[in-house]
Structure 1
Amino acid sequence: MGADALEMTRRRHGDLVVVSLAGEIDVDNVSDVRKCLDEAVETHGPRLVVDLTGLTFIDTTGLGVLVRLLATLRDRNGSMALVAPDGQVLRRLRRTNLAPLFPIYDTLSQALA
């Protein structure tokens, strides 16, 4: 597995769907991320938790996917929370002023509580 490999898993948790992303998100794989998130919402409904704990890097295209999906979910009376412990991903969310858009949790268990 290459260093830039991205792993995406999804599972139900009650009426939420949890999508866990691990590795790096950049312009080369962002369309896969978008597809995975869209499919999760289509299959499980508009209440989403995106677990970024295993993510080591996200670029602006990846952030754009999250912001667009948030807007879509809000239109459907859905919700989207992020799990982003302190690190590069959280710093990037804050630096781009996107952090206030999302509920952000340190751990998945906090997001599901």
Structure 2
Amino acid sequence: MDVLEMSRRRHGDLTVFTLAGEVDADNVGQVRAAFDAAVRSHGPRLVLDLSGLTFIDTTGLGALVRLRAVLDALEGSLSLVAPDGQVLRRLRRTNLAPLFPIYDSLSQALA
């Protein structure tokens, strides 16, 4: 199992949240808690940079959908950076891709 690395930083009124490694049932609780803390600390406008993820399972996808619902309720926004790879394929295969604005690069998401 790859180690999950998470970081966040501010970019104007957005929080850029970066995930690298693997998101699965073993660490999805950590991911959800970190998302919740980011929203509490910095507000409901997030960009998730998933370009460093090598794997995401259905529990990780569920965390993304949950985060989207929370941010929608707060009238916030959520964009994903998911260049062509395993994460983007999984989002498309599960028909979740249409729920999110998805960008190829962080610079595109921040523009």
Q: CA RMSD in A?
A: 0.6
Separation in structure 2 between the aligned mates of residue 5 and residue 48 of structure 1, nearest angstrom: 23
Identity of aligned residues (%): 75
1:2-17 to 2 correspondences below 5 Å: 3-17=1-15
Runs of 4+ in 1 over 6 A off after TM superposition: none
TM-score relative to the length of structure 2: 0.98
Q: 2:56 aligns with which of 32, 55, 58?
A: 58
Separation in structure 1 between the aligned mates of residue 64 and residue 106 of structure 2, nearest angstrom: 17
SS in 2 for 1:22: strand
> What is the total number of aligned residue pairs between the two structures?
111
Structure 1, residues 24-67: CA drift from partner, whole Å, max 9, x if none?
Answer: 00000000010111111110000000000000000000000000
Separation in structure 2 between the aligned mates of residue 8 and residue 33 of structure 1, nearest angstrom: 8
TM-score relative to the length of structure 1: 0.97
Separation in structure 2 between the aligned mates of residue 90 and residue 50 of structure 1, nearest angstrom: 13
